[in-house]
């Protein structure tokens, strides 16, 4: 069973990101001053090992659009995986993470993806054309992102996959496995100057399992 890492919610002035210690804390993404909100969690080691094996041996490829949360059926989607305590723990956690997305976005049509990824899907730093994206990496390396204080937005559109659009002294950050992150995109109203700058990590022979929930609409309060 997954548990949150105990830490006090914090945000850095001007950084446009925050770390929170609960699913409820993700509602801070409503704030105009934030583009990234991360719920950092720990995980049961046996579940992590099981997911590593799933990533190596199963090609998950689920991409469903215009779904309401009540129509998402993880048991059906994962029907090819043998029944086990770890599989049930995975389903339970997917449902918990989906519920967190609904709490933030409201009961709106969603795009839900659950995929095994064995190559670098998005090698360039970019901003998604969505309202808010929820992302959780269950196996493999976590998404790379750049805090507002470190990103050089003027060079974002012209940078190649070999270069990060960083200000002098800035550094790329890495989401951890099982982190649940909310990232605002360019479709979020009034957010044209901002949006979460991120890219896929280098897989390097360790396939990823990534769960994403997108909405084209702003969160409802």
Q: Which domains, ranges and CATH numbers included, belong to the chain? A: 3-215 (2.60.120)
Instruction: Give SS3 for 61.
Output: strand
Instruction: Give SS3 for 201.
Output: coil
Question: Quick one: which of 62, 59, 12, 52 has its CA closest to 33?
Answer: 12
Per-residue pLDDT of the chain (221 residues; tens, 9 = 90+): 554 443 434 434 367 999 999 999 999 998 999 999 999 998 889 999 999 999 999 899 999 999 999 999 999 999 999 999 999 999 999 999 999 999 998 889 999 999 999 887 788 999 998 889 999 999 999 999 999 999 999 888 888 888 899 999 999 999 999 999 999 998 888 887 789 999 999 888 789 999 999 985 554 44
Q: How far is CA 97 from CA 77, 136, 160, 161, 169, in A?
A: 16, 8, 33, 30, 34
Predicted structure pTM score: 0.88
Question: Quick one: which of 180, 193, 191 has its CA closest to 216?
Answer: 191
């Amino acid at each position: 069973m997954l548990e949150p890492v105990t830490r006090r919610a914090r945000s850095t002035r001007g950084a446009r990101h925050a770390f929170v210690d609960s699913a409820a804390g993700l509602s801070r993404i409503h704030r105009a001053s934030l583009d990234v909100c991360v719920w950092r969690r720990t995980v049961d080691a046996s579940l992590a090992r099981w997911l590593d094996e799933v990533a190596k041996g199963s090609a998950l490829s689920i991409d469903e659009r215009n779904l309401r949360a009540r129509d998402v059926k993880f048991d059906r989607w994962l029907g090819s995986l043998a029944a086990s305590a770890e599989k049930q723990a995975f389903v339970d956690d997917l449902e918990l993470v989906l519920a967190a997305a609904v709490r933030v976005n409201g009961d709106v049509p969603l795009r839900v993806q659950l995929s095994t990824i064995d190559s670098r899907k998005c090698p360039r730093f970019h901003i998604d054309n969505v309202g808010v994206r929820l992302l959780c990496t269950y196996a493999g390396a976590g998404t790379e992102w750049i805090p507002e204080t470190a990103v050089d937005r003027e060079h974002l559109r012209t940078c190649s996959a070999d270069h990060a659009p960083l200000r002098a002294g800035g550094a790329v950050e890495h989401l951890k496995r099982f982190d649940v992150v909310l990232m605002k995109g360019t479709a979020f109203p009034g957010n044209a100057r901002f949006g979460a700058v991120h890219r896929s990590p280098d897989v390097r022979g360790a396939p990823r399992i990534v769960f994403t929930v997108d909405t084209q609409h702003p969160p409802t309060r």
